Structure 1
Amino acid sequence: MTGSRPHTLFSFGTLTDERVQTTLFGRAVPTSAASLAGYTTPPLPITGPSVIAAGGLDVRPVLERKLGAAVEGAVLRLTDQDLAAVDAHEVDDHARRQVVLTSGERVWAYLDAKPLRPAQRIVIVGDSIAYGRCDPRGGWAGRLAAAHIARNETAHRVFNLAIPGSHLSEVSEQTPALLAPRRPDTLLVAAGLNDSALPLTAPAGHGDEPELIEDRLAALAATALDHHARLVVAGPTWIDEERTLDYEGLRFTEARALAVREVMRTWCDANHIDYLDMWEPLRGRTGLLVDGVHPGHDGHEALYRHLDALGR
Structure 2
Amino acid sequence: MTESRPHTLFSFGTLLDRRVQTSLFGRAVPTTASSLAGHATRPLAITDASVIATSGQDVHLTLERRIGSTVEGAVLRLTDQELAAADDYEVDDYVRRRVLLTSGETAWAYLDARPLCSAARIVIVGDSIAYGRCDPQGGWAGQLAAAHIASDETSHRVFNLAVPGSTLADVSEQTPPLLAPRHPDTLVVAAGINDSAVPLAASATDGDALPHISGHLDSLAATAQRYNARMVVVGPAWLDESRTGDFEGLRFTVERARTLRATLKTWCEDRHIDYLDLWEPLRDQPHLFVDGLHPNAEGHKELYRVLSAGYC
User: Shorter-chain TM-score: which interval?
Assistant: over 0.9
Alpha-carbon deviation of 1:28? 2.1
Alpha-carbon deviation of 1:18? 2.9
Alpha-carbon deviation of 1:55? 6.3
- Counterpart of 1:248, as a letter, is E
Alignment map for 1:144-183 (pairs within 5 Å): 144-183=144-183
C-alpha distance after superposition, 1:257-309 (max 9, x if no partner):
00000000111011100000011111000000000000011011111111102
Q: Aligned with 1:84: secondary structure?
A: helix
- Counterpart of 2:237, as a letter, is T
Give the Cα separation in 1 of the matches to 2:16 and 2:58. 22
Give the Cα separation in 1 of the matches to 2:51 and 2:192. 38
Alpha-carbon deviation of 1:5? 6.5
Cα 1:47–1:154 shift into 2, 3 Å = farther
Q: Aligned with 1:41: secondary structure?
A: strand
Aligned residues: 307
Please tell me whether the aligned partners of residues 45 and 59 of structure 2 are also in contact (alpha carbons under 8 angstroms): yes
Cα 1:303–1:209 shift into 2, 3 Å = closer
Alignment map for 1:216-227 (pairs within 5 Å): 216-227=216-227
Question: Which is worse superposed, 179-188 or 55-64?
Answer: 55-64
2:197 maps to: 197
Q: Aligned with 1:42: secondary structure?
A: strand
Give the Cα separation in 1 of the matches to 2:208 and 2:5. 35
1:207 maps to: 208
- Counterpart of 2:116, as a letter, is L
1:273 maps to: 273
- Counterpart of 1:226, as a letter, is R
Structure 2 unaligned residues grouped into runs of 5+: none
1:129 maps to: 129
Please tell me whether the aligned partners of residues 148 and 156 of structure 1 are also in contact (alpha carbons under 8 angstroms): yes
Q: TM-score of the superposition, structure 2-length normalised? A: 0.93
C-alpha distance after superposition, 1:60-87 (max 9, x if no partner):
2111111111111110111111100000
Please tell me whether the aligned partners of residues 245 and 253 of structure 1 are also in contact (alpha carbons under 8 angstroms): no
Cα 1:4–1:259 shift into 2, 3 Å = farther
Give the Cα separation in 2 of the matches to 1:293 and 1:209. 18
Give the Cα separation in 2 of the matches to 1:15 and 1:50. 14
| RMSD of aligned Cα (Å) | 1.9
- Counterpart of 1:36, as a letter, is L
2:252 maps to: 252
Q: Aligned with 1:137: secondary structure?
A: coil
Please tell me whether the aligned partners of residues 192 and 261 of structure 1 are also in contact (alpha carbons under 8 angstroms): no
1:112 maps to: 112
Percent of aligned pairs with the same residue? Answer: 67
Q: TM-score of the superposition, structure 1-length normalised? A: 0.93
Q: Aligned with 1:248: secondary structure?
A: coil
C-alpha distance after superposition, 1:201-257 (max 9, x if no partner):
359xx62343x1111111111111101110001001110011113212111000000
1:75 maps to: 75
